[in-house]
Chains A and B, each alone.
Chain A
Amino acid sequence: MTNIWKKYSASPFFDEYFNSSKRFRPHTSQIGKYIGSLNSKELDDINNATESAIKSMGISFRVYSEEYIDGQDRSWPLDFIPRLIRKKEWNKVESGLKQRVKALNLFIEDCYNDQKFLSESDMEESLVTDSPAFKEYCLGMKLKHNSWSSICGSDLIKDRDGIFYVLEDNLRVPSGVGYMLENRSIMKRVFPDLFKHYGVMPVSSYPSKLYETLVSLSYSRSKQPEIVLLTPGIYNSAYFEHSYLAQQMGIDIVQGSDLVVLKDNFVYKKTIEGLVRVDVIYRRIDDDYLDPMKGNKNSVLGVAGLIDCWRKKNVSIINAPGCGIADDKAVYSFVPEMIRYFLKEEPLISNLKTYLMTDNKSRDLISKQFKDFVIKPVAESGGYGIVIGKNASPKEKKQTLQSIKNDPRNYIAQPLALLSTSPTFDKGSIEPRHLDLRPFVLSGEKSYVTVGGLTRVALQKGSTVVNSSQGGGSKDTWIVDK
């Protein structure tokens, strides 16, 4: 083993490059040795080349903080050491994700129609019907190919056993896929030789698969339906991705004010050639802002009358409004049961064990063994509001238990997962850092899973917070046939 790796130790975590006896895994040895052959000057050079490629390609994301109320564009953080997954392992994950999202979509359609699952399973009906994501205007809606969450981003982690688990499903407006694609473009610029010799599976078909999915969900008979991407605007943190995807698919990127609903209950976009009817809206704004007549009355991001057009099937909204009922963290715990119920299959990827705080026994368990658990508010995303038991002060612990007691429906607890690590460049040396993975699943006439996904990495030593808004970085994800 060469120098740069001598000090590297990921113990006690599962490491993506090294096995427990500190040897490279079969699929990482080639790249591991290559990186080991570089001295620290060369590593610095690669790191600088990566950063300058990102700057010149203008890949950024927007952060809002107390300091920058209007937001600030930051360069996208990419660590140049790729995360590797064997193709054989990935194939299983891919099937598991397709299975999972299919069941979730059937569950959502069931909730808005017959509610069979709600009445036949152990799930409390109120988990769905009291959820803010539950939209009454969706009742009775049946969608083409049962596709409610046509683009789903599920977060996967590897625990100490080295097996992938689903941490959560993002069914509403998941973001990150643009960065996954850009990460690969950057890596190709920086490491052209590695790609030649490694047999990394390409990721670039995503935009055309997404386009096919959107076409397959159109109600219009045209083979080239009119598709637009609806963005909240240039100040949104993911605007870079919106504009990137729209460009890749060759569709217009519109804001609410560019669209209008006419008396015929169709949606039109305002162009210099006049009004043009829109068949499919790939929306990147939240449910409540879609239509001021149905959600937030003051919303200027949406289009008045949009929901009625959707209900009449004059326009497809992707993802469908109301699909958020299934990405609640409490509903999450029932996904394995949904798979058995709707598909008569056993889940191919596991959930993390999840305790609902509405259950008295579980609540007792959590207060007794607080430090072994992570407490999550069910309705938050982006890593906000999470309390990690072992890091909490006595005061925080008391406050958290009190909040749970006050509103048990709003919390779940999971045993603290020990996220896997992968070698990551940090100021001249290479160190283990925790990571997760967000693949994207498309559901239309056909289903499709991205080849790998966006690997997010916690750049701070020991941290498990991977969100880019909170100091997380990213890696290119390589699916390799070795």
Chain B
Amino acid sequence: MLSRDAEHLYWLSRYVERVENIARLINVNAELMLDFPGDKTLGWKSLIDTLDTLEIYERKYVTFKEANVINFLSSEMKNPNSIKNCLIKASYNVKETRDYLPPASTEQINNLLNEFNLSQSKLLRNNAKDLYKLIEGSQRFFGIINDNFSNGFVYEFIRLGRYIERVDMVSRTLDTLTVSKKESQTHDFATLEWASLLRNLSAYAAYRDEAKGEIVRANVIKFLFKNKGFPRSINTCLREIDRGVAALPNNKLLKQEVYKLIERVSYSRIENYDDDQLHHFLDSFQKKVNHFDQRIHKSWFQLHG
């Protein structure tokens, strides 16, 4: 497979997954804020922190009002990771790779962008229906892919993109929750937050099923990092990545790196860390994930100088 095509497939997948993740973030935060007493701007600011776009945000807005944040995250053209920009980039990558993909999957991406453009005038403000459409649309895309491939380079690059994006987003979300919000926490609200984090990741039922107990910090963190079956746990994502890497050529270094990541997650006592320790852990974990992404680029997309 040509390096360029592989890179387009990888990024196509990352952007589609990102659309879903951002839509989930907005949706859950909006719900959470309904229960939040007092000033809600801190709660909305945390989304901007999670997505690492504070600098761009502050060029345009002074306050972190809900409407501003949602607008910025959904349709702001100057925000490279707004839902709109992600959809545009996904549809560009689809154009470049349509020969590899089942027609239904490419249509799915184009429809998502078209529908988003149509609904945009109403803005996504509290419009849970539009957010669900994005989430479903992204899932439908991956569903079509999974239904048409079971292996092969096309499938592997899409799988890699999807799960790296997911690892990145889950760890970011966790980081924001533990760090940015601790200033204003009461015990009750903390529980609400952990519950909403689980909902954000569609993990609420699975957690209840698995952990059986109440929703407490240590168990949630353990579940999200170490659980071996849940599709959005970091452990599961890393194992998917491992399978993808194993099926691709020129993978020696990457195999080692993904193994180290899995080890790190499995053997750390992350659930017992306090907030500072957790933040440091997540920070260094994020850096390793970024490094891994660069290694993917070097191994397959830019190995020719």
How many A-B contacts if CB must be within 8 Å?
A: 43
In Å, the complex CA distance between A272 and B300 comes to 4
Confirm or deny: A269 has a beta carbon within 8 angstroms of a beta carbon on chain B: yes
Confirm or deny: A270 has a beta carbon within 8 angstroms of a beta carbon on chain B: yes
Confirm or deny: A227 has a beta carbon within 8 angstroms of a beta carbon on chain B: no
Within 8 A of A (CB), among B230-251: 248-250
**Nearest chain B CB to A53 CB, angstrom units:** 14
Interface size class of B (residues with CB under 8 A): 10 to 19
Confirm or deny: A40 has a beta carbon within 8 angstroms of a beta carbon on chain B: no
Confirm or deny: B34 has a beta carbon within 8 angstroms of a beta carbon on chain A: no
Contact B103 A274 (CB under 8 A): no
In Å, the complex CA distance between A114 and B121 comes to 69
Given contacts A253-B99, A260-B304, contact A270 B4 (CB under 8 A): yes
Contact A234 B96 (CB under 8 A): yes
**Nearest chain B CB to A353 CB, angstrom units:** 45
Confirm or deny: B3 has a beta carbon within 8 angstroms of a beta carbon on chain A: yes
Given contacts A58-B103, A260-B304, contact A271 B96 (CB under 8 A): no
In Å, the complex CA distance between A270 and B2 comes to 6
Number of residues of chain A lying within 8 A (CB) of chain B: 20
Contacts of B299 in A (CB 8 A): 272
Q: Which listed residue, A243, A255, A260, A275, touches B4 by the CB 8 Å rule?
A: A255
The chain A residue sitting closest to B153, CB to CB, is: A272
Contacts of A274 in B (CB 8 A): 250, 303-304
Q: Which listed residue, B2, B6, B249, touches A254 by the CB 8 Å rule?
A: B2
In Å, the complex CA distance between A260 and B153 comes to 23
Q: What is the 8 Å Cβ interface bit string for chain B, positions 293-305, against chain A (1 contact, 0 not)?
A: 0000001110110
Contact B304 A275 (CB under 8 A): yes
Within 8 A of B (CB), among A251-275: 252-255, 257-258, 260, 268-275
Given contacts A272-B300, A274-B303, contact A258 B99 (CB under 8 A): no
In Å, the complex CA distance between A218 and B118 comes to 52
Q: What is the 8 Å Cβ interface bit string for chain B, positions 1-32, against chain A (1 contact, 0 not)?
A: 11110100000000000000000000000000
Contact A272 B3 (CB under 8 A): yes
Confirm or deny: B95 has a beta carbon within 8 angstroms of a beta carbon on chain A: yes
Contacts of B95 in A (CB 8 A): 234
In Å, the complex CA distance between A234 and B96 comes to 7
Contact B250 A272 (CB under 8 A): yes
Q: Which listed residue, B6, B99, B153, B300, touches A243 by the CB 8 Å rule?
A: B99
**Nearest chain B CB to A318 CB, angstrom units:** 20
Contact A271 B1 (CB under 8 A): yes
Confirm or deny: A247 has a beta carbon within 8 angstroms of a beta carbon on chain B: yes
Contacts of B248 in A (CB 8 A): 272
Residue with the greatest number of chain A CB neighbours at <10 A, chosen from B99, B299, B301 = B99
Within 8 A of A (CB), among B114-154: 153
In Å, the complex CA distance between A269 and B1 comes to 10
Contacts of B301 in A (CB 8 A): 272
Residue with the greatest number of chain B CB neighbours at <10 A, chosen from A253, A254, A270 = A270
Contacts of A273 in B (CB 8 A): 249-250
**Nearest chain B CB to A78 CB, angstrom units:** 20
Contacts of A275 in B (CB 8 A): 304
Contact B96 A272 (CB under 8 A): no
**Nearest chain B CB to A9 CB, angstrom units:** 43
Contact B103 A258 (CB under 8 A): no
Given contacts A247-B99, A257-B4, A258-B4, contact A272 B304 (CB under 8 A): no
**Nearest chain A CB to B91 CB, angstrom units:** 12
Q: Which listed residue, A247, A252, A257, A272, touches B249 by the CB 8 Å rule?
A: A272
Contacts of B304 in A (CB 8 A): 260, 268, 270, 274-275
The chain A residue sitting closest to B106, CB to CB, is: A58
**Nearest chain A CB to B50 CB, angstrom units:** 32
**Nearest chain B CB to A235 CB, angstrom units:** 9
In Å, the complex CA distance between A19 and B138 comes to 60
In Å, the complex CA distance between A258 and B4 comes to 7
**Nearest chain B CB to A68 CB, angstrom units:** 16
In Å, the complex CA distance between A78 and B250 comes to 47
In Å, the complex CA distance between A234 and B103 comes to 16
Contacts of B3 in A (CB 8 A): 258, 270-272
Contact A269 B2 (CB under 8 A): yes
In Å, the complex CA distance between A212 and B140 comes to 41
**Nearest chain A CB to B243 CB, angstrom units:** 17
Contacts of A270 in B (CB 8 A): 2-4, 303-304
Contact A271 B99 (CB under 8 A): no
In Å, the complex CA distance between A196 and B19 comes to 51
Contact A271 B103 (CB under 8 A): no
The chain A residue sitting closest to B156, CB to CB, is: A272
Residues of B at the A interface (CB closer than 8 Å) are 1-4, 6, 95-96, 99, 103, 153, 248-250, 299-301, 303-304
Given contacts A234-B95, A272-B303, A273-B249, 13 further A-B contacts (CB under 8 A): A58-B103, A270-B303, A271-B1, A271-B3, A272-B2, A272-B3, A272-B249, A272-B250, A272-B300, A272-B301, A273-B250, A274-B250, A274-B304
11 A-B contacts, Cβ less than 8 Å apart? A234-B96, A243-B99, A252-B2, A253-B99, A257-B4, A260-B304, A268-B304, A270-B2, A271-B3, A272-B3, A274-B303
Please provide the 10 A-B residue pairs with the shortest distance between their CB atoms, ordered closest to farther.
Answer: A272-B300, A270-B304, A273-B249, A270-B3, A272-B6, A243-B99, A272-B1, A258-B2, A234-B95, A258-B4
